Amino acid sequence: MGILERKLREKEQRIQEILSAARVLFLSKGYGNTTMLDIAQESELSRRTLYLYFSSKEELSYRVMKESYDFLLNKLRKAVEECPGKAYDKLISLGEAYLNFYKEDFDQLVSTLLFDYQLVPDDENGKEGKACFETIRAILSVLTSVLEEGQRDVSLITLENPRRTAFTYMTMIQSTMQKLAVRKDWVLKEQGIGGREIMEEMFHILFSSIKNNS
């Protein structure tokens, strides 16, 4: 391994350590209560060294979001690719992927929720903000493509605008996961059911409403 290659690998490893530390702190303390000094200390770096990698907490948070959205995107793509059935079956597979994301990767889920609290449309002009939007659009494209496939294989009812339906579904899914992530203990106490059961009910309502039963 050459010197340059080793330095690049060490830099990437350091970046991943910083992102991991930031994700832990955002989850435990909340985004607003976490400072760059906190992240530096958690990463065992000086604050000056941290600023060599990220110019601000905002930039760092976008990278954390981007990695979590990439993680979700890969799960959704895999769910579609590995499902041999028609479009409706692929929707069910997508629902299972979201359920597993909620159950098994909760820290990644919370990182995607930073989007609603931190990222605003103007941030799309910045490098890190733009990257987040691009991944979100890719997730939307996965769902849109399944709905469009359902128009061709007639496993779904006729949709006036599959992309609009996909965007509506994605918004409802994200909103429900956000609510459950923030208030899952309250929901369990008030309703006597866990977040997974609520999400299963949500997917049943969403997907059965467009299934072609004829």
Whether pTM > 0.75 for this model: the answer is yes
Q: At 156, is the secondary structure helix, strand, or coil?
A: strand
Is residue 121's pLDDT more than 60?
A: no
Question: Residue 115 has what pLDDT?
Answer: 63
| Banded pLDDT at 108 (limits 50, 70, 90) | confident
Residue range 204-208: average pLDDT?
94
Question: Residue 159 has what pLDDT?
Answer: 97
Is residue 186's pLDDT more than 90?
A: no
Check if the beta carbon of residue 178 is closer than 8 Å to that of residue 123. no
Where is average pLDDT lowest: 92-96, 98-102, 139-143, 149-153?
Answer: 98-102
Is residue 213's pLDDT more than 80?
A: yes
The proportion of the chain whose per-residue pLDDT surpasses 70, expressed as a percent, equals: 94
| Banded pLDDT at 120 (limits 50, 70, 90) | low
Is residue 122's pLDDT more than 70?
A: no
Check if the beta carbon of residue 108 is closer than 8 Å to that of residue 71. yes
CATH hierarchy code of domain 1-54 = 1.10.10.60
Residue range 38-55: average pLDDT?
92
Q: Per-domain residue ranges for the chain?
A: 1-54, 57-208
CATH hierarchy code of domain 57-208 = 1.10.357.10
Selected residue with higher pLDDT from 61 and 129:
61
Selected residue with higher pLDDT from 179 and 92:
92
The Cβ of residue 66 has, within 10 Å, a number of other Cβ atoms equal to 23
- Cα(128)–Cα(60) distance, integer angstroms: 8
Question: Residue 143 has what pLDDT?
Answer: 97
DSSP code, position 92: H
Residue range 52-78: average pLDDT?
91
